[in-house]
Structure formats: structure tokens, C-alpha cells
């Protein structure tokens, strides 16, 4: 009777304790993963940037926890580091870019010097050279007679470049060849062709042709 009473009083607690011990031995990975979760350092978040620029340096901003330091990497090289302010934001000014594509990443560092993984990378191309622009037709100063009031402007530029003719978009193929049809007015006609890349670099040419019906 006494033994039965003891089991009745303490049997439930003993079973719970035994089950917890058994869970610890059968699921050791759970305890390890919890430790990892406690020491996890979230990477910073970089603000979006344009895919290309014609500036040799840029400002890079983002967000992280306010008690962190952020390390900035450009093309795999540590460039600079800064503290996160009270608003959980950070800013790197005048970061130099290499000609061509640049990959920008960052890491957060806690007060205990624990580093996060890299942030999601941002890729930005620095393009300093203006696009090429070769106008094949018409020739500057050319004169057109009756029934030639429709003039096709043609030429070549670099692949991926946008072309406007008198502020209207021209058709450009994958090889950079472009064309646009202009309706001529009596007398002198000005034709302005502009080639623009995605970094904002421009090359301009202006022609004058005459239409005498």
C-alpha cells in the first residue's frame, strides 16, 4: 500500500522527468541548434542601387541592429567599416568603384566580435566611357528633292544602347544597328541623334539636311 501510494504521488513527476531526459538523449541536435540560434548574427540589409553609374564613387546605405558595426566589402575586399546609428541605419560615403562590374556586400559585427554572414550582394557597373555613335545616313548637308520627304536615319552603336532621333526612340537590334524614319519639312531640317547607355553616358550628333520639293 505504501509503495503504491508513493508511485501514485510521485509517479507522474518521475515519468515526466524520465521523458525529458530521454528526449535530450534522442534529440541532441535540437540542443545544438538552439545554441546556434542564440549566437546567430543577422546580416545587414543594403538599400537598392542602380545597376550602372557613370560616377567613380557612390554612397552605400542600409540597415542593421543599432548595437552593431558594419563592414563593407567591394569585390571581395574589405573597404571600410562604420557603426550603426540609433535609427538602425548606416552610411558609407564616396566608396570608389572599379571600371566594369562591382559586387558590394556587407557583414554585421556584434559587441562580442561575432560576425554575420555576408548580406545579399548588390552589383553595380561603373561605366566611364560614352557609347559609340556612327550615323551612316543621311550625310550632313545632304539635299533631298520632290518625293523624298521621308528620310530613313540609320547607323550603328554599341549593343544595349538606346537611341533617340529628334527625341523619338529608334529601333535598335542586338548588334547595335538602328533606324528611324523622319518626315522632312520644306527647307532646312535639323536631325539630332543621341546614344545613351544605362549608366547615363551620352554621345550626340546633329545633322542638317535640306528638302526642296
Q: What is the CATH number of the domain that holds 76?
A: 2.60.40.10
Q: Which of 126, 142, 174 is the last residue of a domain?
A: 126
* Single pTM value for the model: 0.72
Domain end, chosen from 96, 111, 126, is at: 126
199 band by pLDDT with thresholds 50, 70 and 90: very high
Looking at the fold, whether 139 and 200 belong to one and the same domain comes out as yes
**Residue 112 maps to a domain:** yes
Provide the sign of the torsion angle of the four alpha carbons 19, 24, 30, 34, taken in this order: positive
Check residue 69 and give its pLDDT: 97
pLDDT of residue 25: 38
Q: In the chain, how many domains are there?
A: 2
pLDDT of residue 113: 92
* Predicted pLDDT of residue 90: 97
- Asked whether residue 34 is domain-assigned, the answer is no
Which cell goes with 109? Answer: 559585427
Q: Identify whether 194 is part of a domain.
A: yes
> If you ran DSSP here, which 8-state letter would residue 75 be given?
T
Which residue, 122, 100, 130, is CA-closest to 44?
Answer: 122
Residues 73 and 139 in one domain: no
145 and 119 within one domain: no
Q: What is the pLDDT of residues 166-178, one digit of tens each?
A: 999 999 999 999 9
User: Which residue's entry shows cell 562590374?
Assistant: 101
- Residue pointed to by grid coordinates 528611324: 180
Q: Which residues constitute the domain of residue 155?
A: 133-211
Res. 46: pLDDT tops 90: yes
52 with 120, same domain: the answer is yes
Does any domain span residue 4?
no
Residue 15 lies in a domain: no
Report yes or no on 33 lying in a domain: no
**92, 126, 160 - which closes a domain:** 126
Amino acid at each position: 500500500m505504501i509503495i503504491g501510494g508513493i508511485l501514485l504521488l510521485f509517479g507522474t513527476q518521475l515519468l515526466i522527468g524520465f521523458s525529458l531526459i530521454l528526449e535530450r538523449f534522442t534529440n541532441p541536435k535540437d540542443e545544438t541548434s538552439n545554441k546556434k540560434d542564440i549566437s546567430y548574427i543577422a546580416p545587414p540589409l543594403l538599400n537598392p542601387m542602380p545597376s550602372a553609374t557613370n560616377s567613380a564613387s557612390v554612397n552605400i546605405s542600409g540597415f542593421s541592429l543599432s548595437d552593431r558595426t558594419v563592414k563593407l566589402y567591394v569585390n571581395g575586399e574589405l573597404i571600410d567599416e562604420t557603426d550603426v546609428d540609433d535609427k538602425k541605419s548606416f552610411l558609407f560615403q564616396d566608396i570608389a568603384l572599379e571600371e566594369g562590374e562591382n559586387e558590394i556586400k556587407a557583414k554585421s559585427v556584434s559587441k562580442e566580435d561575432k560576425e554575420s554572414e555576408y548580406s545579399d550582394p548588390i552589383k553595380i557597373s561603373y561605366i566611364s566611357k560614352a557609347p559609340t555613335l556612327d550615323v551612316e545616313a543621311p550625310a550632313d548637308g545632304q539635299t533631298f528633292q520632290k518625293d523624298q520627304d521621308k528620310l530613313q536615319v540609320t547607323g550603328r552603336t554599341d549593343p544595349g544602347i538606346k537611341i533617340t532621333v529628334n527625341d523619338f526612340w529608334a529601333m535598335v537590334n542586338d548588334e547595335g544597328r538602328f533606324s528611324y524614319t523622319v518626315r522632312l519639312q520644306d527647307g532646312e531640317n535639323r536631325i539630332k541623334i543621341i546614344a545613351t547607355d544605362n549608366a547615363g553616358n551620352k554621345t550626340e550628333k546633329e545633322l542638317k539636311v535640306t528638302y526642296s520639293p
